Amino acid sequence: MRTQSPFVYGFILVVFAVLQNTLLTPLQISQVRPEFTLLLLVFFAHQRGSMEGMIIGFITGIVIDLLGIAPLGFHSLIYTIVGHIFGLTRGKMYVDAITMPVIFAVAATVLSILTALLITLLFLPLRIPSVLSFSSLIQLGMHALSAPFIFGILRVSKLCRERDTQML
């Protein structure tokens, strides 16, 4: 079986980051947008491992930082950490159709919120209420509901190597 290049995963994430910040902005609920790139990163990091998850996460985060108004490095740090943590799951967990995508999505969202909170505590303490708000719960629910669909689409698209989702 041919192995996908990490550049394919990185390219998909960068394209989706651009789409998320341009064309997909109407997918808001109460001024909250789902971060589909975060869910894609979780899936790809699980497929590729920790090192490639960090690299793909960093590159995607930089693109998101350049497209948005967040300080340069904000999303790249968050996505690098998420890529590393979920890359550690490679070969250690079986990802089924519903349960694990939801658990991964909730864990990744909580991890990104906690990392954003830590960065905000250190550098922008006046912005803490914007990190810990009701919109975080809305985003958590949006990610939990959309993760099984996104993971399913990625499996069908053959970006998933079935042996990488099996337990060792």
The structure's pTM equals 0.89
Percent of the chain at pLDDT > 70 equals 92
Whether 38 maps to a domain, the answer reads yes
Residue ranges in the chain assigned as alpha helix (H): 6-21, 36-48, 50-67, 74-87, 99-123, 128-131, 134-156
What pLDDT does residue 33 have? 84
Number of domains in the chain: 1
Give the three-state DSSP class for 3.
coil
The string of pLDDT tens digits covering residues 20-57 is: 888 877 777 877 888 999 999 999 999 999 999 999 99
CB atoms within 10 A of CB 162: 9
Residue 104 domain-assigned? yes
Tens-place pLDDT, residues 85-127? 999 999 888 888 899 999 999 999 999 999 999 999 998 888 7
Asked if the structure places residue 94 within a domain, the reply is yes
- Provide the domain limits for residue 42: 6-165
CATH number for 135 = 1.10.1760.20
Average pLDDT along the chain: 87
Whether 89 is covered by a domain: the verdict is yes
55 found inside a domain: yes
Within a domain: residue 1? no
